[in-house]
Amino acid sequence: AQKITQTQPGMFVQEKEAVTLDCTYDTSDQSYGLFWYKQPSSGEMIFLIYQGSYDEQNATEGRYSLNFQKARKSANLVISASQLGDSAMYFCAMRVYMEYGNKLVFGAGTILRVKS
């Protein structure tokens, strides 16, 4: 069964510094996708970045980059130049293929607090 592990319940980072949020995964599938979502206190889930298992390059989206190490089964999120608005819960998720549609299996999440 697919599983996502986020070992950091909470993280602090100083404004303008970079921070890495850890994510490891377990799957026996050869083809899979990994996502990071941000959830502010208001509750909506905001897509940040996607990495496919066959993608050779690490994904980047603006200040977000994904450090994908396939052999280690890790997909860490790096946020550069942190901003106060980055304070939120961050979820790593894996796409699980189903016959119709695909579901997401989420990790427990990491709460990030950006200090001024």
Partner 1 sequence: DAMVIQNPRYQVTQFGKPVTLSCSQTLNHNVMYWYQQKSSQAPKLLFHYYDKDFNNEADTPDNFQSRRPNTSFCFLDIRSPGLGDAAMYLCATSRPTSGRNNEQFFGPGTRLTVL
Q: What is the residue whose two structure tokens read 């986020």? A: 6
Q: Which amino acid is at 34?
A: L
Q: Which amino acid is at 79?
A: I
Bridge partners for 78 per DSSP:
20, 65
CB of 63 to partner 1, least distance (A): 19
Note whether 101 binds partner 1 by CB under 8 A. Answer: yes
Question: Of 71 and 98, which CB lies nearer to partner 1 in the complex structure?
Answer: 98
Cα 106 to Cα 62: distance, rounded to the nearest angstrom: 23
The answer to whether 47 touches 101, Cβ cutoff 8 Å, is no
Contact track, partner 1, 71-100, x by CB under 8 A: --------------------x---x-xx-x
Q: How many CA atoms lie within 13 A of 83 on its CB side?
A: 4
Question: Of 3 and 115, which CB lies nearer to partner 1 in the complex structure?
Answer: 3
Note whether 47 binds partner 1 by CB under 8 A. Answer: yes
Residues that bind partner 1 (CB under 8 A): 31, 33, 35, 37, 42-47, 50, 52, 91, 95, 97-98, 100-104, 106-109
